[in-house]
């Protein structure tokens, strides 16, 4: 089992308590949402999982094994991939070259076309594989960023606000892709500002405010998401 588990996770930057005692679990074949206002500690949680934020307490485990104190490269090799906020693709490289960067974290050599996991999900990446990534639209660049994470064949996918700045039609593509990724059996931890969409899609969604877990919602709460959340954040 490659369940990702956070237990009492705390992140502190000097005097700032960014995350305070957060516990959650993501199992294979699940999407868990992490929603909440700006500054709630969502990105810090993802960075702490990747070994890239100062852990002030608590543990991160994958399949029961501790990831504490490991470098980001080690965490990636253990099977966790992050799609960072703002995509961070390399505009001067081609689509294919960007995807190949994701191969560095693979644990096993690829059989056949190593880029297939990305092309299957996002055919536009295959069509544009020789184009420079900088020539893609914002939505296509987001697909590229997710595709790059997938070619590493991770067990766990972390995403930091993948729908930020995208047109509604493209948001649908991204959310449909996340559902397909869940079908492949990955464990997905989805940080989002779009609360309603996230609550409707995810198996459960945790609302974070001031670094603390306030409320957990299921898909059945999607109709009432905004009201529920504002009640808890008031
Ligand atoms: N590198 C950093 N150094 C100092 N403070 C930080 C750093 N990154 C984030 N913070 C602070 O930690 C808190 C949580 O930020 P963040 O995790 O980015 O929230 P979110 O992703 O939910 O918007 C905020 O108060 C933010 O200003
Ligand atoms: Mg953030």
pLDDT tens, N- to C-terminus, the chain (234 residues): 699 999 999 999 999 999 999 999 999 999 999 999 999 999 999 999 999 999 999 999 999 999 988 999 999 999 999 999 988 999 999 999 999 999 988 888 877 789 998 999 999 999 999 999 999 999 999 999 999 999 999 999 999 999 999 999 999 999 999 999 999 999 999 999 899 999 999 999 999 999 999 999 999 998 888 877 777 776
| Beta bridge mates, 5 | 25, 61
Give the position, in ligand 1's atom list, of the atom nearest the Cα of 40. Answer: 22
Find the ligand nearest to 19 CA.
Answer: 1
In short, whether 41's Cβ falls inside 6 Å of ligand 1 is yes
Give the position, in ligand 1's atom list, of the atom nearest the Cα of 14. Answer: 4
Task: Tell which one of 12, 41, 214 to mutate to probe ligand 1, the residue whose CB is within 8 A of the most ligand atoms.
Answer: 41
| Beta bridge mates, 209 | 212
Do the Cβ atoms of 18 and 29 come closer than 8 Å?
Answer: no
Domains of the chain in start order, with CATH, are: 4-89+155-233 (3.40.50.300)
Task: Give the C-alpha separation, 61 to 221, whole Å.
Answer: 29
Counted residue by residue, the chain has a size of: 234
Task: Give the C-alpha separation, 220 to 211, whole Å.
Answer: 25
Do the Cβ atoms of 106 and 71 come closer than 8 Å?
Answer: no
């Amino acid at each position: 089992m490659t369940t990702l588990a956070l237990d009492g996770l705390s992140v502190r930057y000097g005097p700032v308590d960014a995350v305070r005692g957060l516990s959650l679990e993501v199992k294979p074949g699940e999407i868990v949402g992490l929603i909440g206002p700006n500054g709630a500690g969502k990105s810090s949680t993802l960075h702490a999982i990747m070994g890239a934020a100062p852990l002030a307490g608590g543990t991160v485990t994958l399949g029961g094994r501790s990831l504490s104190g490991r470098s980001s490269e080690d965490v990636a090799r253990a099977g966790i991939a992050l799609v960072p906020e703002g995509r961070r693709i390399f505009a001067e490289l081609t689509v294919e070259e960007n995807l190949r960067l994701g191969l560095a974290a693979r644990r096993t050599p690829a059989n056949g076309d190593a880029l297939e996991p990305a092309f299957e999900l996002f055919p536009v990446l295959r069509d544009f594989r020789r184009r420079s990534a900088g020539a893609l639209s914002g939505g296509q660049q987001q697909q590229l960023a997710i595709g790059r994470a997938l070619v590493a064949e991770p067990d766990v996918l972390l995403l930091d606000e993948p729908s930020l700045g995208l047109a509604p039609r493209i948001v649908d593509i991204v959310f449909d892709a996340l559902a397909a990724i869940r079908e492949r059996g990955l464990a997905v931890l989805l940080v989002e500002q779009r609360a309603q969409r996230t609550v409707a899609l995810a198996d459960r969604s945790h609302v974070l405010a001031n670094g603390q877990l306030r409320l957990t919602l299921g898909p059945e709460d999607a109709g009432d998401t905004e009201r529920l959340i504002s009640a808890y954040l008031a």
